[in-house]
């Protein structure tokens, strides 16, 4: 008995001696709801609503509830797919800009209750909340403030309805983890049949303070998303990436929905006043909504993996959109892509290599075990290594018993005390020499670095600059398998196609007759000519492992060898070739301060049967002149023109992908793309790449 008492005494003296205060928080810190949200990391967006049935990205609001008619809607399938993909939640478009409500809201007749689905007795939000519960997933709701259907949109009565809709969603469906407010406010709409343009002031109209209060009152644990929070922020693009430098803090009071300086959302503000971490939202397909024509454009595994490393790997969360189809199911192709993506990520992070290794810090807070280096490899996110108050530069060195191959580093700061690290480098001891692998800036909740595989005896992380003493909760090391990537297809103006893969050991096989390529198909050796429309199918093949990638298909049309730009409405004709050079990364633009609609005329060099055209918007970092409304004309002589198609490239500004527009078969030698409306203040139009869809 005595010995235990003595032991207890010694232990308590020891622990009272080593009680060193934790570092003081630095800058704004996350709330509990933030911390819970950071842990969610990877979750699904589901765009499923009226647009699914009208094949639109933005409905006008003039649609009829009778058009909402899924044939086999099964929210359990969505939940199963999300769960098996490793996602932890689903955010559903309860109401998109067209105003149609997926639940029987009392505020409007424009809801599922007037649709044929379940004889008007359905409530999709209820179904989904039950499905999420069954699969242990969190539920979030997207509620568009802009409502192109509501007759009272623009008046205070609409705002009252909007708030009531929010109340309904946050009261009747159990816990909600995220409320998503879209910043888009386009102006024109159906608005009860008036079909007019209604402008509101984004900053004041929706009474954001009151909106936030409603969420806090009904769902205190939910985070609120918008361009600028108040809790979490848009990342400033819909392509799926955050900047390498990514602060979870921002000068929030400067931001409002539709903020023109949105590029700053990509990296946050180092001197931020509020915790406002970035959510990276992107779709698994070109569109947010399902379009059968995009069935072949489901993002490839390499593309999804890239997005993973550029979102979660850069201190963001990853909200991946699944456009549920007209049946009401996640399409088979999307399911296959999600599965393949998950197994890739699982393989990358299969075996952690730092755990249990010797780890030494250059400084330890108060010399206290509580803050010692091994806290970063104990697998416990609640413990962390910390340095003394005056130490903002320090290092951690991990030693292996024998040379060990590594190519991934995962770091996490102890964010309950704020985001601190401003600059760090990664070094490796290879053959008794220290080499610098990478120097980077921020870490935050999570940062992952990818680097060439090297065989090291030691790994050192040097923290070079920090806002205060260091507080690092986690360090992980991995050796991810070699990446077998689908070949990248590029083509030049003469029609020659080049296929490339990053790894020279990987072989490429292809077909041009529609059949599935195998390692017995034509082996790619050098660039080859394609002159007429075909679907090019390719695989990459690792002959050592006898493993191949999934088949990727690329529609290729006539070669542009004899194409000439014959006329431009302004600007330099000679430079306009950049719009038909087969490279969407280059562009041609009309003159700047122009007030008339701009057009480009192309001579195809021969008469072709056309069934459509393609338009790549400009791919510049800071784009301008994107055509949002177009007219496409055809002619056999370049003088007499007929309109082949006219319409809107919906959401093209946020999602700058190739637009493929089909029309009735027509013979033509000349084509003209006219920019009826563009993004920007003038009529300046830009053209990344123009192509045709032709048939025999």
Q: Which is nearer to ligand FUL, 458 or 628 (CB)?
A: 628
Closest C-alpha among 93, 189, 70, 194 to residue 139 = 93
Q: What are the residue ranges of helices labelled H in 283-437?
A: 301-311, 332-348
* Nearer CB in complex with ligand FUL: 184/464: 184
Q: Which is nearer to ligand FUL, 58 or 177 (CB)?
A: 58
Smallest distance, Å, CB 287 to ligand FUL? 9
Collapsing DSSP to helix, strand or coil, 81 comes out as helix
As given in the structure block, the two tokens for residue 386 are 């910390």
Site string for ligand FUL, 12-51 (x = CB under 6 A): ----------------------------------------
**What is the Cα–Cα distance from 448 to 161, expressed in whole angstroms?**
44
Q: Where would I find the H helices in 146-300? A: 156-171, 208-218
Q: Does 246 bind ligand FUL (CB under 6 A)?
A: no
Q: Is 455 in the site for ligand FUL (CB under 6 A)?
A: no
Burial class of residue 15 in the structure, from the number of CB atoms within 10 Å of its CB (0-12 exposed, 13-18 middle, 19+ buried): exposed
> Binding residues for ligand FUL, how many (CB under 6 A)?
8
Which 72-111 positions form the footprint of ligand FUL (CB under 6 A)? none
Candidates 41, 57, 486, 582; binder of ligand FUL (CB under 6 A) is 57
594 forms beta bridges with none
Of 264 and 368, which has the nearer Cβ to ligand FUL?
264
Q: How buried is residue 583: exposed, middle or buried, by Cβ count under 10 Å (0-12/13-18/19+)?
A: middle
Smallest gap from Cβ 94 to ligand FUL, in A, equals: 12
- The nearer residue to ligand FUL, 248 or 650, going by C-beta atoms, is 650
Nearer to ligand FUL, 534 or 653 (CB): 653
Min dist CB 654 to ligand FUL, Å, is 5
Q: Looking at the DSSP assignment, which residues form a beta bridge with residue 178?
A: 140, 223
Q: Would you say 151 or 653 has its CB closer to ligand FUL?
A: 653
| Residue 557 binds ligand FUL, judged by CB under 6 A | no
By CB under 6 A, residue 645 contacts ligand FUL: no
Which of residues 123, 182, 231, 279 is near ligand FUL by CB under 6 A?
182
Please report, in angstroms and rounded to a whole number, the separation of the first and last CA atoms in the chain: 96
Spell out the residues 6+ positions from residue 606 whose beta carbon is closer than 8 angstroms to its own: 562, 669
Q: Please tell me whether residue 181 binds ligand FUL under the rule CB under 6 A.
A: no
* CA distances (Å), origin 154, targets 95, 190, 226, 337: 17, 13, 20, 42
Please identify, using beta-carbon distances, which residue of 576 and 678 lies nearer to ligand FUL.
Answer: 678
Q: Which two tokens stand for residue 343?
A: 């197994």
Burial 165-184 (b: 16+ CB within 10 A, else e): bbebbbeebeebbbbbbbbb
Q: C-beta of 379: minimal distance to ligand FUL in Å?
A: 35
Among candidate residues 615, 611, 601, 605, the one with its CA nearest the CA of residue 667:
611
Q: Which residue is nearest to ligand FUL (CB)?
A: 184
Q: With binding defined as CB under 6 A, does residue 147 bind ligand FUL? A: no
Rule CB under 6 A: say whether 363 interacts with ligand FUL. Answer: no
CB of 317 to ligand FUL, least distance (A): 14
Parallel/antiparallel/unpaired status of strands 89-95 and 42-47: parallel
Residue 679 found at the interface with ligand FUL (CB under 6 A): no
CB of 499 to ligand FUL, least distance (A): 33
Rounded distance, CA 448 to CA 412, Å? 9
Closest to ligand FUL by CB, 178 vs 182, is 182
Please tell me whether residue 509 binds ligand FUL under the rule CB under 6 A. no
Nearest Cα neighbor of 193 from 40, 338, 63, 12 is 63
Our CB check for ligand FUL shows the closer of 25 and 186 to be 186
Asked if 291 and 223 touch (Cβ cutoff 8 Å), the reply is no
Nearer to ligand FUL among residue 91 and residue 678 (C-beta)? 91
Using left for φ > 0, alpha for ψ between -120 and 50, and beta otherwise, residue 405 falls in: beta
- In the stretch 274-293, what mask flags binding to ligand FUL with x, by CB under 6 A? -------x------x-----
For the chain, the 3-state helix, strand and coil shares in percent, each to the nearest 5, are: 20, 35, 45
In the complex, minimum distance from the CB of residue 185 to ligand FUL, in angstroms, rounded to a whole number: 9
Q: Does 67 bind ligand FUL (CB under 6 A)?
A: no
311 binds ligand FUL (CB under 6 A): no
Q: Is 395 in the site for ligand FUL (CB under 6 A)?
A: no
Q: Please answer whether residues 601 and 670 qualify as being in contact, where contact means their C-beta atoms are separated by less than 8 angstroms.
A: yes
Confirm or reject binding of residue 651 to ligand FUL (CB under 6 A).
Answer: yes
* Nearer of residues 288 and 632 to ligand FUL, judged by Cβ: 288
Greatest C-alpha distance within the chain: 107
Interface residues with ligand FUL (CB under 6 A) are 57-58, 182, 184, 281, 288, 651, 654
């Amino acid at each position: 008995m005595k010995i235990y008492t003595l032991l207890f005494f010694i232990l308590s003296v020891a622990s009272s001696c080593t009680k060193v205060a934790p570092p003081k928080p630095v800058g704004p810190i996350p709330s509990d709801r933030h911390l819970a949200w950071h842990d969610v990391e990877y979750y699904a967006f589901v765009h499923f609503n009226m647009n699914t049935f009208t094949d639109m990205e933005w409905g006008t609001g003039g649609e009829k509830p009778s058009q909402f008619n899924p044939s086999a809607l099964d929210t359990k399938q969505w939940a199963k797919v999300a769960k098996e993909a490793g996602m932890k939640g689903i955010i559903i478009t309860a109401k998109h800009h067209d105003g149609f409500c997926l639940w029987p809201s009392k505020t409007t007749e424009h809801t599922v209750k007037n649709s044929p689905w379940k004889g008007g007795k359905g409530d999709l939000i209820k179904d989904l909340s039950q499905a999420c519960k069954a699969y242990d997933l969190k539920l979030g709701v997207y509620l568009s403030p802009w409502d192109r259907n509501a007759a009272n949109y623009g008046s205070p009565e609409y705002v009252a309805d909007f708030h009531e809709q929010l109340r309904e969603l946050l009261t009747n469906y159990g816990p909600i983890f995220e409320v998503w407010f879209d910043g888009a406010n386009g102006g024109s709409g159906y608005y009860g049949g008036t079909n007019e343009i209604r402008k509101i002031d984004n900053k004041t109209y929706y009474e954001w303070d009151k909106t936030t209060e409603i969420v806090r009152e009904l769902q205190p644990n939910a985070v609120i998303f918008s361009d600028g929070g108040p809790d979490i922020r848009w990342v400033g693009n819909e392509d799926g990436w955050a900047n390498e430098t990514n602060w979870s803090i921002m000068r929030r009071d400067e931001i409002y929905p539709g903020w023109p300086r949105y590029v700053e959302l990509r990296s946050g503000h180092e001197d931020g006043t509020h915790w406002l971490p970035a959510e990276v939202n992107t779709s698994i397909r070109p569109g947010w909504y399902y379009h059968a024509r995009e069935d072949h454009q489901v993002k490839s595994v390499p593309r999804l993996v890239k997005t993973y490393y550029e979102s979660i790997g850069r201190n963001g969360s990853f909200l991946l959109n699944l456009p549920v189809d007209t049946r009401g199911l996640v399409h088979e192709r999307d399911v296959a892509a999600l599965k393949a993506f998950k197994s890739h990520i699982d393989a990358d992070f299969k075996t952690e290599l730092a755990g249990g290794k010797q780890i030494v810090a250059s400084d330890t807070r108060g010399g206290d075990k509580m803050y010692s280096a091994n806290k970063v490899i104990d697998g416990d996110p609640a413990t962390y290594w910390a340095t003394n108050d005056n130490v903002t530069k320090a290092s951690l060195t991990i030693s292996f018993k024998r040379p060990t191959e590594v190519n991934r580093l995962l770091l996490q700061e102890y964010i309950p005390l704020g985001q601190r690290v401003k600059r760090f480098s990664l070094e490796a001891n290879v053959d008794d020499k220290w080499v610098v692998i990478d120097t980077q800036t921020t870490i935050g909740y999570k940062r992952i670095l990818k680097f060439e595989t090297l065989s090291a005896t030691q790994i050192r992380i040097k923290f070079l600059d920090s806002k205060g003493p260091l507080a690092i909760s986690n360090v992980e090391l991995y050796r991810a398998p070699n990446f077998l990537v689908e070949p990248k297809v590029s083509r030049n103006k003469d029609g020659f196609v080049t296929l490339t893969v990053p790894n020279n050991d990987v072989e490429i096989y292809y077909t041009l007759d529609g059949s599935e390529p195998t390692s017995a198909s034509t082996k790619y050796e050098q660039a080859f000519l394609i002159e007429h429309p075909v679907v090019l199918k390719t695989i990459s093949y690792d002959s050592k492992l006898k493993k191949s990638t999934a088949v990727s298909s690329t529609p290729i049309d006539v070669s542009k060898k004899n194409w000439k730009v014959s006329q431009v409405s302004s600007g330099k004709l000679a430079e306009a070739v950049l719009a038909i050079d087969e490279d969407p990364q280059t562009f041609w633009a009309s003159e700047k301060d122009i007030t008339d609609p701009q057009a480009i005329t192309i001579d195809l060099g021969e008469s072709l049967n056309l069934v459509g055209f393609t338009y790549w918007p400009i791919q510049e970092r800071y784009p301008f002149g994107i055509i949002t409304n177009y007219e496409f004309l055809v002619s056999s002589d370049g003088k007499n023109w007929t309109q082949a198609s006219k319409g809107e490239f919906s959401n093209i500004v946020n999602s700058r992908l190739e637009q493929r527009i089909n029309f009735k078969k027509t013979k033509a030698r000349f084509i003209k793309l006219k920019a009826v409306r563009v993004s920007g203040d003038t009529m300046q139009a830009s053209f990344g790449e123009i192509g045709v869809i032709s048939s025999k």
